[in-house]
Amino acid sequence: MSGPENLDFTGGSGDYNAGRDIVSAARLQNIRKYYPPSTIVSNQVALYPAAQTYMKYPKTRFQVGDREVLLDDSVHFFQQMRGQGHDVSLQVIPNLIHCGQMLRQVFQPGLCNRTGSNLY
């Protein structure tokens, strides 16, 4: 997970891409049942990777599709890591759905995974 800003997965690309991605906000909201320990409220900063400060972070290429419900979250995490001085890049792939890279043999937008990654 790129680091959602809220575990409701609403607003921005979550709403805009709700009917364009294979992953729905309702499905993602199930994370609230399984991800956080019962002692943590789902709106605590500790749950959000993009809200943390990282002394070290590996060289990373964030690949995200413009049809993903998590598009805004991925861009936000990239911006946070770049702002902290880490060696990160962002590739927004047109017409790509969530995890579309895994379908690259049958899904044309997923081919960008291989070519884009080789450039980084």
Question: Over pLDDT 70: what percentage of the chain?
Answer: 68
**Structure pTM?**
0.77
CB neighbour class for 24 (10 Å; exposed up to 12, middle 13-18, buried from 19): middle
Q: How many domains is the chain built from? A: 1
- Residue 81, domain member (yes or no): yes
- Residue 100, domain member (yes or no): yes
Q: How far apart are CA 120 and CA 78, in angstroms?
A: 15
Nearest CA among 118, 79, 80 for reference residue 101: 118
CB neighbour class for 80 (10 Å; exposed up to 12, middle 13-18, buried from 19): buried
- Residue 8, domain member (yes or no): no
Range of the domain at 17: 13-118
- Residue 63, domain member (yes or no): yes
Q: Work out the pLDDT band at 90, boundaries 50, 70, 90.
A: very high
- Residue 6, domain member (yes or no): no
